[in-house]
Amino acid sequence: MHPQVLRRPRTWWRHRAPLVMSLWFALAFVGLRLIYRVVFGGLPHGNTEWGSTIFGVGRSALPFVAVILVFGALNVVVDLRGALARGLTRGGLRRLRTVMVISLSAFPALLESVRTVRWSRRMRRDSSLRSLVVPVLERALDRGVTLGASLEQRGFGAARDRVGGMCDAPVVARDLTIGFGDAWSLSVGDLSVEHGSCVLITGDTGAGKSALLRAFTGRLQHLSGGWQDGVLEVGGVDRRGALPHETASFVSLVEQDVRDAFVAARVFDEVAFSLRMLGANESEILRDVDAVASRMSITDLLSREIDALSAGEATLVAIAAALVTKPSLLLLDEPIADLDEANTRRVVNVLEHVRRETGVTIIIAEHRWGALEHLADRHIRLRPSGMNDTHLLPSLNHVEGADADASAGADEQTRGRAPVTPL
């Protein structure tokens, strides 16, 4: 049986973290109410008055504590994130449920950031409250923004009817420049990516690889405060006027930090998420998830918890979630950047199979490009030409500098296979 049901596996007792978190949250809630009572009501006098104050605060907080604990216990045996995600495309209170999905998805990362920051503070011997609160809040905001963008890029709010996607050139740019304010820009000029081709984009850190991919999805122009000058058409659709969710059925992006973009608690629900956002029914979801999992040899992962995946497994799940909608354009932002040699080979093998079997157009941005170059028909390099300006350059037979250093040690047989195709 596929794990499409909401109930967790029988080992639910191993996943008691939500209950523990709810217990701590309930205690913190009672503590805050007690502090509020002391600040605005004054300090009690004597042991008897202290006891009655604590009892009164506890009694008034009891209904809230009960709700918190019930919610935590329910989340142990039921995948609430998956349940809420299933309902995002129908029913009322849609915005509230969207906020709850983002909050539930961000909470584990928030706890992890607290542990990381506390360890860092101990190493620095810094006990100030600011050194704890500021980094944790920054991490929480970053996680929330990333999840919101992930929802949008994966079809939240999209109409089921496909608005484009089938054309000879999935990406066409004419006199294109993108940027953020006056601080940074990327001069693309004219660019045409043929259907079914594989393009490898390389460049130093900060050259604009990720920004270019996000411009293709519309995230840069519509969600990240960036700007576009010139023409950019993706799947035959004007990117300037089309929001990311309007092209989610045929444009898929695998983020560099794949875990930050995960929405669901389990692999099956994560892979199925875009299908649900685009209005697929359960039979279609079962069929398509099973097909992509079989093709990528990750069927055994479908019942796993997202948090239990290794780095390589998480990348494969993210690729499966991107492919399940059968996109005509697949974008990958540094898919092997944080992987060891074994997981790199596995991801590269999957991409080879995807390209051979599906005919999808693939654009890969990667700093460590050596293991991927043999996949590419075209190799484009980004190199800064000024303090704030970067130009998109033709591909080269011989790549020098940081790109070559980044790919040192890669299999020599994977190098030099991409034909030189100037823009």
Residue 89 CB coordination number (10 Å): 17
Q: Which of 70-74, 261-265, 317-321 has the lowest mean pLDDT?
A: 70-74
- Treating both helix axes as pointing N-terminal to C-terminal, what angle do 267-277 and 311-323 enclose, rounded to 10 degrees? 20
Question: Left, alpha or beta for 326 (phi > 0: left; psi -120 to 50: alpha)?
Answer: left
**Is pLDDT above 50 for 397?**
no
**Is pLDDT above 50 for 380?**
yes
Separation in Å, CA 259 to CA 146, 188, 242: 10, 30, 26
Residue 257 CB coordination number (10 Å): 16
pLDDT, residue 405, reads 41
Share of the chain above pLDDT 70, in %: 65
CB 357 within 8 A of CB 337: no
Q: Which of 225-234, 274-283, 323-332 has the lowest mean pLDDT?
A: 274-283
Q: Which of 10-14, 313-317, 348-352 has the lowest mean pLDDT?
A: 10-14
Band of pLDDT at residue 159, cut at 50, 70 and 90: low
pLDDT, residue 320, reads 95
Residue 48 dihedral angles phi and psi, to the nearest 5°: -65, -45
Between residues 26 and 104, the one the model is more confident about: 26
pLDDT, residue 334, reads 93
pLDDT, residue 253, reads 94
Six token digits for residue 255: 């983020």
- When pLDDT is averaged across residues 86-104 and rounded to a whole number, the result is 56
Q: Specify which of 101-115, 351-365, 409-423 reaches the highest per-range mean pLDDT.
A: 351-365
Band of pLDDT at residue 315, cut at 50, 70 and 90: very high
**Is pLDDT above 60 for 245?**
yes
pLDDT, residue 80, reads 59
pLDDT, residue 116, reads 72
Between residues 37 and 8, the one the model is more confident about: 37
**Is pLDDT above 50 for 422?**
no
Residue 3 CB coordination number (10 Å): 18
Measured CA to CA, the distance from residue 252 to residue 234 in angstroms comes to 12
Q: Which of 190-194, 321-325, 401-405 has the lowest mean pLDDT?
A: 401-405
Residue 228 dihedral angles phi and psi, to the nearest 5°: -130, 130
pLDDT, residue 419, reads 37
Between residues 21 and 279, the one the model is more confident about: 279
- When pLDDT is averaged across residues 337-346 and rounded to a whole number, the result is 89
Between residues 143 and 107, the one the model is more confident about: 143
Q: What do you get for the CA distance between the two ends of the chain, in Å?
A: 50
Between residues 84 and 388, the one the model is more confident about: 84
Share of the chain above pLDDT 90, in %: 27
- Treating both helix axes as pointing N-terminal to C-terminal, what angle do 282-296 and 341-358 enclose, rounded to 10 degrees? 120
Burial of 205 (C-beta count, 10 Å sphere; 0-12/13-18/19+)? exposed
pLDDT, residue 17, reads 61
Buried b / exposed e over 139-148, threshold 16 CB at 10 Å, is bbeebbebbb
pLDDT, residue 8, reads 39
pLDDT, residue 41, reads 65
Band of pLDDT at residue 261, cut at 50, 70 and 90: confident
Tokens 């503590």 sit on residue: 31
Q: Each residue of 2-26: pLDDT tens digit?
A: 444 333 343 443 455 666 767 777 7
**Is pLDDT above 60 for 395?**
no
Mean pLDDT rounded to a whole number for the chain: 75
> Strand runs (DSSP E) across 144-298, as ranges?
171-180, 184-193, 198-203, 227-234, 237-238, 251-254
Q: Each residue of 180-238: pLDDT tens digit?
A: 888 888 888 888 999 999 999 988 888 889 999 999 999 999 988 899 999 999 998 99
Measured CA to CA, the distance from residue 301 to residue 308 in angstroms comes to 10
pLDDT, residue 229, reads 93
- When pLDDT is averaged across residues 352-369 and rounded to a whole number, the result is 90
**Is pLDDT above 90 for 263?**
no
Strand arrangement, sheet containing 184-193: 237-238, 227-234, 171-180, 184-193, 389-393, 378-384, 198-203, 361-365, 329-333, 251-254
Taken in order of first residue, the domains within the chain and their CATH numbers are: 10-153 (no CATH), 171-414 (3.40.50.300)
